[in-house]
Chains A and B, each alone.
Chain A
Amino acid sequence: MRYTQPDLLDHLASSYVLGTLTGGARRRFDRLQRDRADVRGLVMQWENRLGQLAMSVPVQQPSPQVWKAIAARTQPPMAVPSGGWLGWLKPAGFGFGGLAAGVIAASLLFATAPGIFMTSDQVAMRSGEKLPQSYVGLLTDAQGNGKLLVSSLRHGKTMSIKVIGPITPPAVGRLVLWAVPTDGPAFALGPVPTSGSAVSLLPDTSEKLLQKVSKLVVTLETSAAPAGPTGIVVFSGNCAKLW
């Protein structure tokens, strides 16, 4: 099946989140999600919608044993067993040896079975010893401080925006990321978060949208849907092709 129709993908995403997509179809959709950021975006949107319905579910108190079991599986070990032939792995109170052993074990597993950790696309990139073909941009403020890292796979339809330096949320308006082509008007790529990261869904592939874009800017906009950048430019940077 070709997963190119937006309506079909949206329907599959809604059925997946609801739980009515079952069996082989669910497994196929799981794989599709792993490989396509736009599909993950649709799923997240449906999780957001259907999650609203869970607000009416009455709360229930689980046994205290549940947290103990969770903590035992997630908390870093504090106590260090004395003696024994593995004692050298854990120098007193620090656990460096255990960490090192874990890193070694994980590295071996990573080297022998990378598919456990990565998608097939990522494995291919790794074996090719190069980064995936992407459009990237590092945006800085007027003083040259790094603020945003923008990236999008060349043939992908999503754009990741990661905050890499402190950004003060504007009191009025919102920050918008714009692409500035060499021979045309600037167009919006999406809103900019002031912390963490965000994913914007693009109307087309990056290749089609950004092929002739050399610069990215972030402006402070006060209108809800500005046709072009009208506010002050707060961050800017070059848009580069990573291939």
Chain B
Amino acid sequence: MKPDADTANRSLESLIMGAAQGDHACFAQVYQRTHTHLFGVAVRILGQGQAAEDVLQEAYVSIWKSAAGYRNEVGGQTIQAMTWLIAIVRNKALDALRARARRRESELPASGDIDEDDVQALGNPAPSAMQLLEQASQALHIEGCMNALDGSYRQSLALAYYQGLSHTEVAAQMGAPLGSVKAWIRRGLEKLKTCLAAQGVAA
């Protein structure tokens, strides 16, 4: 998959628009530029393994089919192509994660029957969700603003975002009451919105 001179010089946004018109070379270039990042997002939520690759495949097929739905501006706000792609992958990964959780509820594994995805996910040592949130905050220059929030607020937001955990799962992992976690995450989202707006990013 080698890009031609035309596609290699085009912006990601322009390539998605090309894909929307059925240009497969544009679509291939979108994959070439974004797949390692998007696979990283899927792996964060699902762990290394077939499930993450399946989600990546489904996500790109969906991107190909729905490229015409991409809007580069909504309400006067620029919608970055990469964040649109990330949203598609996250949604697919969250669906897969919830489906996996439902399967576990209905099919209690026999003793010793271990999910391969779990093993690989557990074997993935780092970085933690909190570390990723801190790195992102630094890169976005909103670290000071976000640090005004209590650590519990930031940790609950990080666990929900980077690991795709539900409110209940975040509460279990943090050993905190469910009601508190819901309030922390809501407050964390509001704070993130304020911090990004103050920085002029994704206001």
Do A and B make up one complex? yes
Residue of B nearest to A76 (CB): B24
Known: A19-B94, A55-B136. A190 touches B76 (CB 8 A): yes
Q: Report if B43 contacts A (CB, 8 A).
A: yes
Cross-chain contact A52 with B202 (CB below 8 angstroms) = yes
Cross-chain contact B77 with A51 (CB below 8 angstroms) = no
Q: Report if B36 contacts A (CB, 8 A).
A: yes
Q: Report if A201 contacts B (CB, 8 A).
A: yes
Residue of A nearest to B98 (CB): A22
Cross-chain contact A44 with B36 (CB below 8 angstroms) = no
Docked CA distance A53–B161 (Å):
8
Q: Is chain B's binding surface mostly helix, strand, loop or mixed?
A: helix
Docked CA distance A70–B39 (Å):
14
Cross-chain contact B133 with A18 (CB below 8 angstroms) = no
Q: Which residues on the B side are within 8 Å of A50 (C-beta)?
A: 83, 87, 161, 192
Cross-chain contact A70 with B61 (CB below 8 angstroms) = yes
Closest CB in chain A relative to B117 CB, distance in Å: 14
Q: Report if A230 contacts B (CB, 8 A).
A: no
Chain A residues 33 to 91 lying within 8 A of chain B, measured CB to CB, are 40-41, 44-45, 47-63, 65-67, 69-71, 73-76
The one of B57, B79, B157 that contacts A69, using a Cβ cutoff of 8 Å: B57
Q: Report if A119 contacts B (CB, 8 A).
A: no
Cross-chain contact A49 with B193 (CB below 8 angstroms) = yes
Cross-chain contact B36 with A61 (CB below 8 angstroms) = yes
Stretch at the interface among A124-132, A192-200, A207-215: A192-200
Q: Report if A11 contacts B (CB, 8 A).
A: yes
Q: Which residues on the A side are within 8 Å of B7 (C-beta)?
A: none
Cross-chain contact A18 with B160 (CB below 8 angstroms) = yes
Cross-chain contact A48 with B202 (CB below 8 angstroms) = yes
Residues of A that sit less than 8 Å from B by CB: 11, 14-15, 17-20, 22, 40-41, 44-45, 47-63, 65-67, 69-71, 73-76, 190-191, 193, 195-201
**What are 22 contact pairs spanning A and B, CB under 8 A?**
A18-B185, A40-B74, A48-B83, A49-B202, A52-B202, A53-B162, A54-B41, A55-B136, A56-B139, A57-B132, A60-B39, A60-B52, A62-B53, A67-B31, A70-B61, A70-B64, A191-B76, A197-B72, A198-B72, A199-B73, A200-B75, A201-B76
Extra pairs beyond A19-B166, A58-B127, A62-B52 (4, CB < 8 Å) = A47-B87, A53-B132, A57-B37, A190-B76
